[in-house]
Each structure stands twice: as C-alpha cells, then as structure tokens.
C-alpha cells in the first residue's frame, strides 16, 4: 500500500470524499447545463481539471450532441396555492430534461406526467427524457395517492436550447505517454452512489497520483453518461491508441462487497491487476464478465475501440434497492466504504505502475544468493522464508516473458512482495529491464 494512504488517514479521506459529495448533492446535474459546470468548477478546487464545451449539434459517430437543458424552478400547486411538489426541495422531483410549461390542469391530466414507485411508496424515483420532448414530475407513491381532485398549477421554468455539452478532463503526465483512463459519469442530480461517489473517488485518486512518481500518464474524464464518452471518443479517436489500461468508476460508496466487471478483452492486464488486488485484500468480492450494459465501459469496449477498460464498483448499478431513487442519498454512502474503494483503486494503480518485466542476468542455474548477502537482507522479518521463495520465483521466471504480475499469479504470492524482492535483485545486478 502506498505511503500516503495509511490506516491513520483513510478515515479522514473517507470523510473528505463524503463532504465533497455533500456539497455536490444539491446541484441539479444533467447530461448538459449549468449544474454540470457548477459541479466541475467545484472539483476544480481540488484538482486543476479543464472544462471542455462541445457545441449542440456536433455529430459524434451515430449521435448528435443534444440541446442544453437548464432549469431555474419547477413546482406543482394545488387549488389552494400550496406547493405539493417542489423542485427546490429535491431536484429528483423534476423529470430531467423537462420542457418549460405553465398551465392549470386537472388531476387526471397531471397524473399522466407523474412518476412514482408503487413498490417503494416512500421513495422518489429518478427519471429522464433526454431524447423525447416531454415534461414530468417524480414523487413518492404516498404523495401521488394523496392528491385530491381539483385543478393544479404546473410550472416549469426551464430552457432547452442550443448550447454545449460540458465535460471535465484532467491529464496527469507520467514518464510514458501510455495512458491509464479513469472515467466517471457526472450527469445525475441528487444521487450519491450512482454518480457522486465516482466523482469523489476519481478526484481523490487524481490528488493522490499527483504526489507520486508516475510511469504512466493518467487521464481523468468527468463526463455525462453515454453521450459524454461517445463525444470524447469521437473527438479523440487517434488518442485512444495510447490508452493501455482503464477503469470506469461508479457505485463505490455503498456497503456491498467490491465487484469487478472485466473489460471486453476479458483478460487484459487491467483485468488481472484488479482481480489480484481483490484477492490480496482478503475480503469477499465478485468478478463479473463483460456485458454490453452498464456505464461508459459500453462505449470504451465497443468493437471499434475494444479498449482494455473494466469497471470496479461495490454493488453494481441496478442491484441495490436504493438505485435511481431518493434513497441513494448521503446516508446510503459512507466514508469508510469510500475510503476502502479508494484504497483498492490506489492499489491497482500501484500494481500497474510496478508491473515490470525483467531478465535474469545469471540464468544458468541459480545465482549464489548467500554470497551476495541476499539471504540475510530480510533477516529478522517473519516473511523471510516467503521472501526467499519470492526471490527464487522472480529469478526463475524472469526470462523476458513473464511480468511481475505473471510471477505473482503463478507463484500465488502477493504482487507487492514479488515487486519488492525484484527491486532488491535488480539492485544486486541479478535482474535487468526488458521491454516485453
Ligand atoms: Zn444511473
């Protein structure tokens, strides 16, 4: 584990991530609009990300960047002038991308524009209507059932007009131009695990990596789901050749166990790195095969790109009852789980950074380790025996074909230990770098 993430500060980091989410929570985000910009500007206080603006109408593969949606206010008043539904109370109440309206209508007509969850009658659902002009409100089923007959005033002060799609990008250069892509979606309003936890984790991961020596370059994308990744890929097609590892970050703050969804390639280095980290963490986890559903890995792993991009989450989308409801709130995501997830991401980056391939400089029989003092460098440590075993594995497998992760997998020893002994063997001239 990295120096800067120790047991003593994970608590603080989890709290800080949660605090950032609490600040972003009231902002009404969508796939476009000022809520996204405001959220990205808040993240700019943590990391120097760039906000890019792509004009409405831009053709991006089979899609078109949509009109920009902004909302100032929305409510429904009953016959007595009482606001029975109020966007200012909870931004989930307004169907995302609702067109403007000011009208008096009957209850029956209003009900055609109300969405509730009869199975979860106290929760407000999250609904969008990006590509079909419409308007609507989301309410608890309890509220829906309580509405009396009569006339209602519907008011939505929104605009749907030519503008831009905004996304955030932070490029952190390393020694190599080969890139690790970290992508999260920024398009949901007051939803925590599905959306804000990814923004918070990506931001704190970027902050951490800023302070570390970096072999790879890192590209962080804060983009609206689906249309954002399609837009980025369409505008940066040539650059995608540099992406050699990638992860889509979402749902990283709930109490569920970690889940890793493999890239479409299935056994890319990123897939093996994440699975090794999860194995070594010693807690229950699950590995899922790729499927063309979920978050932006769908676009990164589309056949024309087929990038090695997986997704490391806790409970995957749609599998927790709070998903896309008002219950996916600041109480559902907790600092300890955010910190645990961040530690996993940092461990994956550490592994990728250190997964070198070496050549044994003395491949004919074992080198005499005792003569070089290598049996004693580990003296006094409990791990001495396995360190010796790790050294023998590294020496035996370093024929130019095995990376350190290959050796860790084959030996069943932790990558961190394999990497540590390899560094010592290198210092003693018993290993040399190779480019495989
Ligand atoms: Zn979602």
CATH of the domain at 188: 3.40.630.10
Task: With a cut of 80, say whether residue 436 has pLDDT above it.
Answer: no
| Confidence category of residue 10, pLDDT binned at 50, 70, 90 | confident
Would you state the pLDDT for residue 4?
47
**Per-residue pLDDT tens over the stretch 264-300:** 999 999 999 999 999 999 999 999 999 999 999 999 9
Contact 155, 102 (CB under 8 A): yes
Residues 6+ apart with CB under 8 A from 249: 182, 183, 184, 198, 201, 202, 205, 311, 312, 313, 345
Would you state the pLDDT for residue 435?
59
Would you state the pLDDT for residue 404?
98
Q: Is residue 407 part of a domain?
A: yes
User: 């932070």: which residue's tokens?
Assistant: 170
Domain count, the chain: 3
Residues 342 and 386 in one domain: no
Q: Is residue 317 part of a domain?
A: yes
Cα-to-centroid distance, 190 and ligand 1 (Å): 11
Residues 330 and 211 in one domain: yes
Task: With a cut of 60, say whether residue 377 has pLDDT above it.
Answer: no
Q: Is residue 411 part of a domain?
A: yes
Tokens of 149: 């007959």
Would you state the pLDDT for residue 3?
44
Would you state the pLDDT for residue 203?
98
Cα-to-centroid distance, 222 and ligand 1 (Å): 14
- Rounded Cα gap, residues 242 and 398, in angstroms: 26
Cα-to-centroid distance, 98 and ligand 1 (Å): 18
Cα-to-centroid distance, 203 and ligand 1 (Å): 19
Mean pLDDT of 347-369: 96
Cα-to-centroid distance, 385 and ligand 1 (Å): 49
Q: Where does a domain end: 127, 161, 195?
A: 161
Which of these, 248, 230, 263, 232, lies nearest to 183 by C-alpha position?
248
| Confidence category of residue 2, pLDDT binned at 50, 70, 90 | very low
Cα-to-centroid distance, 231 and ligand 1 (Å): 18
- Rounded Cα gap, residues 100 and 157, in angstroms: 5
| Greater pLDDT, 127 or 384 | 127
Cα-to-centroid distance, 336 and ligand 1 (Å): 22
Cα-to-centroid distance, 298 and ligand 1 (Å): 14
Residues 156 and 184 in one domain: no
Cα-to-centroid distance, 167 and ligand 1 (Å): 17
Which of these, 94, 349, 323, lies nearest to 195 by C-alpha position?
323
| Confidence category of residue 1, pLDDT binned at 50, 70, 90 | very low
Cα-to-centroid distance, 225 and ligand 1 (Å): 8
Residues 137 and 89 in one domain: yes
Helix axes 197-210, 7-24, angle to 10 degrees: 130
Mean pLDDT of 349-357: 98
CATH number of the domain enclosing 408: 1.10.10.10
CATH number of the domain enclosing 134: 3.50.30.90
| Greater pLDDT, 259 or 10 | 259
Residues 52 and 76 in one domain: no
**Per-residue pLDDT tens over the stretch 18-41:** 999 999 999 999 999 999 999 999
Cα-to-centroid distance, 254 and ligand 1 (Å): 14
Say if strands 50-55 and 63-64 run parallel, antiparallel, or are unpaired.
unpaired
User: 């070594």: which residue's tokens?
Assistant: 280
Residues 132 and 152 in one domain: yes
Residues 370 and 316 in one domain: no
Mean pLDDT of 340-353: 98
Q: Where does a domain end: 334, 352, 370?
A: 352
Cα-to-centroid distance, 25 and ligand 1 (Å): 14
Residues 175 and 310 in one domain: yes
Residues 401 and 293 in one domain: no
Residues 96 and 206 in one domain: no
Task: With a cut of 70, say whether residue 106 has pLDDT above it.
Answer: yes
Which of these, 392, 389, 259, 381, lies nearest to 315 by C-alpha position?
259
Cα-to-centroid distance, 432 and ligand 1 (Å): 47
Residues 305 and 171 in one domain: yes
Q: From the CB of residue 217, how many other CB atoms can be counted at a distance below 10 Å?
A: 18
Q: Where does a domain end: 352, 368, 383?
A: 352
- φ, ψ at 135 (rounded to 5°): -145, 155
pTM over 0.85: yes
Measured over the CA atoms of residue 50, residue 54, residue 59 and residue 65, the dihedral's sign is positive
Cα-to-centroid distance, 28 and ligand 1 (Å): 14
Q: Is residue 21 part of a domain?
A: yes
- Give, in degrees to the nearest 5, the angle at Cα 370 between 365 and 375: 110
Which of these, 375, 380, 386, 381, lies nearest to 424 by C-alpha position?
375
Would you state the pLDDT for residue 5?
55
| Confidence category of residue 375, pLDDT binned at 50, 70, 90 | confident
Tokens of 272: 């093996």
3-class secondary structure per residue, 206-255: HHHHHCCCCCCEEEEEEECCCHHHHHHHHHCHHHHHHEEEEEEECCCCCC
Cα-to-centroid distance, 294 and ligand 1 (Å): 9
Task: With a cut of 70, say whether residue 6 has pLDDT above it.
Answer: no
Cα-to-centroid distance, 189 and ligand 1 (Å): 10
Look over the chain and give the mean of its residue pLDDT values, rounded to a whole number.
95
Cα-to-centroid distance, 58 and ligand 1 (Å): 24
Q: Is residue 1 part of a domain?
A: no
Residues 237 and 361 in one domain: no
Cα-to-centroid distance, 316 and ligand 1 (Å): 10
Query: Range of 140's domain?
Result: 68-161
Cα-to-centroid distance, 228 and ligand 1 (Å): 14
Cα-to-centroid distance, 251 and ligand 1 (Å): 9
């Amino acid at each position: 584990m990295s120096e800067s993430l120790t047991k003593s500060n994970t608590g603080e980091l989890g709290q800080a991530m949660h605090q950032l989410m609490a600040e972003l929570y009231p902002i009404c985000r969508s796939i476009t609009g000022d809520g996204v910009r405001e959220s990205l500007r808040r993240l700019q206080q943590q990391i120097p990300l760039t906000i890019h603006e792509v004009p409405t109408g831009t053709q991006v593969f089979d899609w078109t960047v949509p009109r920009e949606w902004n909302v100032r206010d929305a409510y429904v008043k009953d016959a007595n002038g009482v606001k029975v539904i109020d966007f200012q109370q909870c931004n989930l109440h307004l169907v995302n991308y609702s067109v403007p309206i000011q009208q008096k209508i009957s209850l029956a007509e209003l009900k055609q524009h109300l969405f509730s969850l009869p199975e979860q009658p106290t929760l407000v659902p999250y609904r969008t209507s990006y590509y079909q002009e419409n308007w609507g409100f989301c309410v608890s089923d309890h509220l829906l059932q309580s509405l009396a007959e009569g006339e209602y005033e519907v008011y939505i002060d929104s605009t749907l007009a030519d503008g831009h799609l905004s996304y955030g990008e932070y490029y952190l250069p390393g020694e190599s131009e080969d890139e690790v892509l970290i992508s999260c979606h920024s398009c949901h309003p007051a939803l925590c695990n599905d959306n804000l936890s990814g923004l918070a984790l990506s931001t704190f991961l970027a902050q951490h990596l800023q302070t570390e020596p970096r072999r790879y370059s890192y590209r962080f994308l804060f983009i609206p789901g689906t249309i954002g990744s399609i837009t980025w890929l369409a505008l940066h097609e040539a650059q995608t050749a540099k992406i050699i590892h990638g992860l889509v970050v979402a749902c990283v703050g709930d109490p569920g166990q970690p889940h890793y969804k493999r890239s479409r390639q299935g056994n890319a280095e990123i897939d093996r790195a994440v699975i090794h980290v999860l194995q070594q963490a010693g807690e229950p986890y699950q590995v899922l095969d790729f499927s063309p559903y979920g978050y932006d890995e769908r676009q990164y792993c589309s056949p024309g790109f087929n990038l090695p991009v997986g997704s490391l989450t806790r409970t995957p989308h749609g599998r927790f009852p709070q998903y896309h409801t008002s219950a996916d709130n600041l109480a559902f995501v907790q600092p300890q789980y955010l910190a645990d997830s961040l530690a996993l991401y940092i461990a994956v980056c550490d592994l990728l950074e250190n997964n070198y391939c070496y050549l044994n400089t003395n491949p004919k029989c074992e080198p005499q380790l005792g003569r070089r003092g290598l049996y004693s460098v580990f003296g006094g440590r409990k791990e001495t025996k396995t360190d010796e075993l790790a050294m023998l594995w590294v020496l035996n497998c370093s024929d130019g074909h095995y990376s350190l992760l290959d050796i860790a997998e084959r030996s069943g020893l932790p990558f961190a230990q394999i990497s540590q002994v390899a560094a010592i063997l290198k210092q003693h001239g018993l290993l040399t770098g190779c480019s495989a």
